[in-house]
Amino acid sequence: MNGSATSRPPLSPTARSTLTRSKERARGDRADLDAVLDAGLVCHLGVLLGGAPVVLPTIYGRDGDTLYLHGSTGAGNLRAAIAGAVSVAVTLVDGVVYARSAMHFSMNFRSAVVHGRAVEIIDPATRLHALEVITEHAAPGAWSRVRLPNKKELAATMVLALDLTEASVKVRTGGPNDEPADIENGGVWAGVLPVRQVWGDPVASADLEPDIAVPADVLDRAAPDLVPVR
């Protein structure tokens, strides 16, 4: 989802959102953060549960400077998320970096890490909007053609919002950073083996009536010739 981009400050440079290692990989613009968050399919949510960190994958959506999460009202991890600080990471792996020496092997990636406090959304209109944002992130174009949440479903769902004010973005591209001596010695292949996510062909549900065509929003996303996601 795209939000208003007017007068948005750069990413917050707090101690934990400032890279101390490999600083050249840091990106400081909100557009960089948006790009990584919008390209991901799932995030990893870190909460504090019984004094220990717990990391869990979950779907999400972004609208402007807000990240939305949702889940069952019975989910202990979401309750833990609103009880204290959270951290949310979205990572896209773009390749394995093959170096001339073992310690220079690496990954090309784009990652965003957000820190903050998640708040539960109570307002019904905002809740419904957040659910639309999350659904449209997972399945762009689907919200307008499916049955929307009913009262019972809404009552069983917890919706959280996290401000995107404190975040760091890291991007690694290119080949290995080999030692000059190893490059001079030569004889070892060095480069990148790219990796990417691709969509397959849509698979109809076993209980689907035979006369229902694949909708345009699914068909446009699917790529029988394996065109990359981005």
User: Interface residues for its own copies in 91-150 (CB under 8 A)?
Assistant: 91, 93, 95-96, 98-103, 105-107, 109, 111, 113, 115, 131-132, 135, 138-139, 142-143, 145-149
The residue within the footprint of its own copies, chosen from 122, 125, 155, 206 (CB under 8 A), is: 206
Q: Are 159 and 120 in contact (CB under 8 A)?
A: yes
8 versus 98: smaller Cβ distance to its own copies: 98
For residue 62, the minimal CB distance to its own copies (Å) is 16
Amino acid identity of residue 226, one-letter, is L
Q: Which of residues 165-204 bind its own copies (CB under 8 A)?
A: 175-176, 178, 182-183, 186-204
Total number of residues that touch its own copies (CB under 8 A): 100
Phi and psi angles of residue 218, each rounded to the nearest 5 degrees, phi first: -80, -45
For residue 126, the minimal CB distance to its own copies (Å) is 16
d(CA 89, CA 54): 13
**Taking CB under 8 A as the rule, does residue 66 contact its own copies?**
no
Q: Which of residues 8-37 bind its own copies (CB under 8 A)?
A: 16, 20-21
The residue within the footprint of its own copies, chosen from 50, 122, 125, 151 (CB under 8 A), is: 50
105 versus 119: smaller Cβ distance to its own copies: 105
For residue 112, the minimal CB distance to its own copies (Å) is 10
For residue 11, the minimal CB distance to its own copies (Å) is 16
For residue 44, the minimal CB distance to its own copies (Å) is 4
7 versus 200: smaller Cβ distance to its own copies: 200
Residues 6 or more apart in contact with residue 149 via CB below 8 angstroms: 128, 131, 157
Residues 6 or more apart in contact with residue 104 via CB below 8 angstroms: 97, 176, 177, 178, 179, 182
What tokens appear for 23 in the block? 């600083």
Q: Cα torsion for 117, 121, 126, 131, to the nearest 10°?
A: 90
Q: Strands 106-120, 52-58: parallel, antiparallel or unpaired by DSSP?
A: unpaired
For residue 65, the minimal CB distance to its own copies (Å) is 20
**Taking CB under 8 A as the rule, does residue 153 contact its own copies?**
yes
- Beta-carbon-side half-sphere exposure of residue 195 (alpha carbons within 13 Å): 11
**Taking CB under 8 A as the rule, does residue 212 contact its own copies?**
yes
| C-alpha dihedral sign at 37, 94, 225, 209 | negative
Q: Cα torsion for 116, 117, 120, 125, to the nearest 10°?
A: -40
